[in-house]
Chain A
């Protein structure tokens, strides 16, 4: 039916919306190589000036935390509430704090 020997690799696409912002994940696509992935990302994800910069990265190159180990992985920050500014009580009359 088609000449596809195998499926093209999956790429994750990240777009920087404007200068000063982080690249944000917007979706994924298949492409035969990095250059084509970037071209397709431009056509699929930025048809209306949605970005000033695009990153594409092969999905199989990403290492992710597992949702099931969520508790152990993120709990250290849970018991370190002193990392958050709201941990500290400052009198009302102290300005700009």
Chain B
């Protein structure tokens, strides 16, 4: 965008205006002055979020060709296409902070920026498609609904669009699992086995415990984050337990029980060393996911080149005709 030039405001006044905007609960918009730390935090968070949507297409994409019916295949295709869309909304929100799309792509491909650890787990059975919709998209919804009110305008607006679409994702997953649990013993066992594998990694999606999440407090002061990791994790558990009961599956946690006093479910401690290992790159599928993403990028190069060449030729022809 071209901007009509304005005198650069003295930093103190700008900082005051920024603080006042945050204090009012108002939104910061792209061309407002903002502290460097705020900008960096947002770039990191939004980029990681965008990369997660993009890499997140892979585990489910694995089953598109093997979906058991045309109906299920159409649903899965639409869901995976939505995730691509989510990635694009978020990349464009991130670009309003002054990073280019090429840089963001490069940071994903080089591994300098991360994506959600959950997508480094494999989808071993078809029931995983249902479990991902129910638990993984369910956890994502818990994380994302409060982000609709995040202090950075473009991020919040992207989250609103995403949240509208996520509800379809969760419901199709739950309905798939319901259908399977009404089937044979073998199908019920398949659902239980899948839930057993995805339960703990889903809890890890909310990040490390608050005590070990050093940047959280600052993010909350800036209104970038609205709830702490542990709060959101608790909310997810409270929401999910009755859904598991209705489905007739067990959640693999012997410590899971209702706590009358707290008005919440108590639950066990996720294996934080596992989370750290997956983040470090040692999850079951880290290498496969990155290799696939790099190959997709390279294989798509000719399409990008052809579109660029076509656009250039059309523009040249238009100039010729105008003469």
Contacts and interface: CB of A to CB of B under 8 A. Distances in A.
Contacts of B311: 32-33, 36
Contacts of A38: none
A54 B294 CA distance: 33
A64 B3 contact: yes
A2 B301 contact: yes
B211 interface: no
Contacts of B8: 68
A47 B100 CA distance: 25
Interface string A19-52: 0000000111110110010000001100110000
A63 B2 contact: yes
A7 interface: yes
Contact of B1 (A1, A27, A62): A62
Interface residues of A, number: 30
Contacts of B1: 59-60, 62-64
A89 interface: no
A66 B3 contact: yes
B88 A29 contact: yes
B81 A47 contact: yes
B82 interface: yes
B322 interface: no
B9 to A, nearest CB: 5
A33 B313 CA distance: 11
A4 interface: yes
Contacts of B297: 1-2
B310 interface: yes
Interface string B1-20: 11111111100000000000
Given A28-B92, A32-B307, A66 B6 contact: yes
Interface residues of B, number: 42
Nearest to A34: B311
A30 B101 contact: yes
Nearest to A2: B301
Contact of A67 (B29, B82, B304): B29
Contacts of B109: 1
A33 B317 CA distance: 14
Given A29-B88, A64-B2, A47 B82 contact: yes
A28 B82 CA distance: 16
A85 interface: no
Contacts of A84: none
A65 B4 contact: yes
Contacts of B3: 63-64, 66
Contact of B102 (A4, A47, A64, A68): A4
Contacts of A68: 6-9, 33
A52 B46 CA distance: 30
Contacts of A26: 161
A92 interface: no
Interface of B: 1-9, 29, 31-33, 78, 81-82, 85, 88-89, 92-93, 95, 100-102, 109, 157-158, 161, 165, 297-298, 301-302, 304-305, 307-308, 310-311, 314-315
19 contacts: A1-B109, A3-B305, A4-B304, A5-B308, A7-B101, A7-B102, A8-B308, A27-B89, A29-B88, A30-B101, A32-B307, A33-B315, A36-B311, A44-B88, A60-B2, A62-B2, A63-B1, A64-B2, A67-B29
Given A32-B311, A44-B88, A68-B9, 7 more contacts: A3-B302, A7-B100, A10-B95, A62-B2, A64-B2, A65-B4, A68-B8
